[in-house]
Chain A
Amino acid sequence: MGIHQKIVGLFLAASTLVFSQEKLIYFEPSLLRASATIAPTRFYNHETTVAFINGFMEYVVEPKISVRGEANFMAPNGQLLFTNSPEKFPRNFASIYAGFGYHLGKKNWKIDLHAEPGIALAEMAQDPYVVVPSRFQWSACPSYMLKAGSSFYFSKYCHFFAEINFSNGWVRKTTLSSVSLAQYGVSAGLGFHLITQKHDE
């Protein structure tokens, strides 16, 4: 086989590959995706940054709409910067959210917007400066999360995602004034997805 025939053959193979890539769109209704990652999060009223373990699961119900649930857990010893004392900042913290997503963009690159009501669980000291060791109590605090991000679906089972989020809530069960849980964070990583229903062409 001559060099010209090899080059022509290579172009033909490449054009077939491009054609097949254009045809495959992974983001479609019935797509189920999930991931877990480490999410650095800043409680800006406390000047404290912590590491969250974030996990989510999302199901696409329409071309632009999805249902999503997610959870955050403050990693053990996950207070990274400017750690406060337990009466001013939760000793342990977790949050769960469920809501909807709105997805913009064509084909496999999406801009994602999410609004999710939820509950934040915070464990705070109840007897600061008075009783040692202090009594701790968990609170369930109404909260919400707003999230914006982008996802790129590059294969049948995997995608990349990057998101920023803002959430807020108040811990009322404190001896001192209520503690704001206003925070913003980032999360990114590799996600996994699956088309759960076959669609008729």
Chain B
Amino acid sequence: MSFLALQVNAQEQRTFNPAGMLSLGGRTTVSLFNDHKNEMTGTGIGGQFRLRFSDAVNTDWFFDYITSDILNYAHRTDYHIGWSVLFYPINHLAYFHQPKDFKPKFRPYILAGHCFDYSKIEAKDGISPLDGALYAERWSSAVQAGIGTHLELTPRFDISLTGQYMIHLGNHIETDFDFTSGTLSFHEHKGASLAGHLLVTVSLNYKIARLWGFTRR
């Protein structure tokens, strides 16, 4: 009897376990408090897929394309490709386990992760009369951490809001603009620096498949 009870219990746990769930989504990002001198608020677009590993752990795999102004003399483009681990610290509460009567709910999380990024800074007019194309670029790596919450509107659809600080590790580019002569120049500094920015992201996600852990009929 106890063996049967254990089996039933295990069956129930399997039913509630969302591991293996794959979501697909689109996202919009705002880049704030950029460390680059005179850089202004940036806006971006991207996509992501989300793969859940357990009831408390999820992962985001994302791509972002972000553009911003450096006052009115240059503009910057950032491409981010990376991943984040999402941890649901209060997921054990009964509020999050309502398998029968679904109600929209918030599901807060802490996240941390890593990404690769490519940045390009171009003069506003794109060219210099003497030097031709006027731009600087770099590849670097970054780490990010922050907090967020899902707003689960249906069992399969959610809107997620995330605030995270991203620190770029590696070479960085400085722009110098002489306001008297209107001359723009770039300087690349090698080595580690902790230049970063705050990213606020809104994403729309839909669960499209369960890759493992499904119940066989």
Listed in ascending order, the chain A residues whose CB lies under 8 Å from chain B are: 61-62, 64-65, 67, 98-100, 102, 115-119, 126-127, 137, 140-144, 168-170, 172-178
Contacts and interface: CB of A to CB of B under 8 A. Distances in A.
Contacts, number: 72
Given A126-B125, A142-B67, A169 B43 contact: yes
B154 A172 contact: no
Contacts of B122: 173
Nearest to B205: A100
B72 A176 contact: yes
A117 B43 contact: no
Tell me whether chain B's interface is mostly helix, strand or loop, or mixed: strand
B196 to A, nearest CB: 20
Contacts of B156: 61-62, 65
Given A62-B154, A170-B67, A117 B45 contact: yes
A172 B159 CA distance: 28
Given A172-B69, A172-B75, A175-B125, A99 B204 contact: yes
B213 interface: no
Interface in B162-217: 202, 204, 206
Contacts of B126: 126, 137, 173
19 contacts: A62-B157, A65-B154, A65-B157, A67-B206, A115-B159, A117-B26, A117-B27, A117-B28, A117-B46, A127-B125, A142-B44, A142-B65, A142-B66, A172-B67, A173-B126, A174-B124, A175-B124, A176-B124, A178-B72
A61 B204 CA distance: 14
A115 B159 CA distance: 10
B28 A98 contact: no
B28 A100 contact: no
Given A64-B154, A98-B26, A117-B204, 5 more contacts: A61-B156, A65-B206, A142-B43, A144-B45, A173-B75
B43 A116 contact: no
A163 to B, nearest CB: 18
Tell me whether chain A's interface is mostly helix, strand or loop, or mixed: strand
Interface in B14-30: 26-29
A100 B75 contact: no
B153 interface: yes
Interface in B24-60: 26-29, 43-46
B45 A118 contact: yes
Contacts of B77: 172
Interface of B: 26-29, 43-46, 65-69, 72, 75, 77, 122, 124-126, 153-154, 156-157, 159, 202, 204, 206
B72 A100 contact: no
Nearest to A137: B126
A169 B215 CA distance: 45
Contacts of A177: 69, 72
B43 A170 contact: yes
A13 B12 CA distance: 53
Contacts of B204: 99-100, 115, 117
B132 to A, nearest CB: 14
Contacts of A172: 67-69, 75, 77
A100 B157 contact: yes
Contacts of A67: 206
A126 B127 CA distance: 10
Contacts of B67: 141-142, 170, 172
B74 to A, nearest CB: 9
Given A126-B126, A141-B67, A142-B45, A102 B153 contact: yes
